[in-house]
Copies of this chain bind each other. A is one copy, B any other.
Amino acid sequence: MINKVKKDEAVVLVDENFNKYFLNTGGKTDKYKGVGVINPADLVGIEYGKQTKIKDKEFWIFKPSSMDKLQGLKRKAQIILPRDAAHIITNCSIESGHTVLESGIGSGSLTIALANAVAPTGKVISYDNREDFIKHALKNLKTMGLDGFVKTENRDVTKGIKEKDLDAIIIDIPNPWDAVSHAWKALKVGGYLCTYSPLISQVEKTVDEIKKHGFIEVKTYENIQREMVVSKHGTRPSFNMLGHTGYLTFARKVLK
C-alpha cells in the first residue's frame, strides 16, 4: 500500500540533517523557512517517507509524529526538553483523558508533550502571566495541530488556580514554592504535582513547602542524558553534552 500526500493535510518535511518543517498542503504559496518559496499544493501526490527533491533540497515527508512536533518547535523562552517532558508525563501518570495544568507555557514545549499525552479526550490548561509567551506558544500548537487540546489563560499561578480535581499540575516558574498551596487545593486526591527548577535552592524551598502541606511520595531527580556516537571506528559518549537542564520534584496529593 502506497501512501501519498493528499490535499489539506498537515505534513512535516525532514531534511538530511533531520531539521523539521511543518506545512499544510492546503496552505498558500509562500516563503517557508528552510524550504524556500513553494506552493504547498505541489507536495500533493508525493509518497510519504520517500526522499524527494523539493526546491533543490532533499526531504522526507511524514505525517507529523509526537516527536516531530517536539522537535519542530520554534523557541522563544527556554524550553523543557523532551527527555524531561518524558519523565514528567510518566512520573505524573499522565494519560489519555486526563486534565492537567501547567504554568508557565514558555514556548509551549511541555505543552506539546502534555497535549500528545492527554489526547484525544483530555485537556491541558496552561497559565502564563506573559501574553507574548501565550501567543507564541499557541502559534506553535496550531502548527502542530494540538491547539484543540489546550486552553491557555493569562494568569499568575501563584495567585490561585481556578480548576479543581486536576490529575496533575506541572510548575515551571522561578518561584514554584508560591504555587504549592494552590496546587494542593486544585489537585484530585492521588493527583501529582511536579516542579521543574534549575537551582538547588529552588528545590529546597519547594520541597520544604511541599512537605508542610502533607504531600506524599516526594522525590527529586536529575536526568542526565548522554548521546553515544556509534561509528565504524567504534563507540564513545558524545563530546557535546548539556551539563544540566533542571531538577524535577514530584509529589502526590492525599487527604489530610
Contact = CB atoms under 8 A, between A and B. Distances in A.
Interface residues of A, number: 79
A221 B230 contact: no
Contacts of A92: 67
A162 interface: no
Contacts of A221: 225-228
Interface stretch (A23-31, A114-122, A125-133): A114-122
Contacts of A230: 203-204, 207, 220, 249
A237 B247 CA distance: 10
Contacts of A35: none
A70 B94 CA distance: 13
Interface of A: 1, 3, 14, 18, 47-51, 60, 62-63, 65-68, 70, 82-83, 85-87, 89-97, 113, 116-117, 119-120, 165, 189-190, 192, 198-204, 207, 216-217, 219-228, 230, 233-244, 247, 249, 253-256
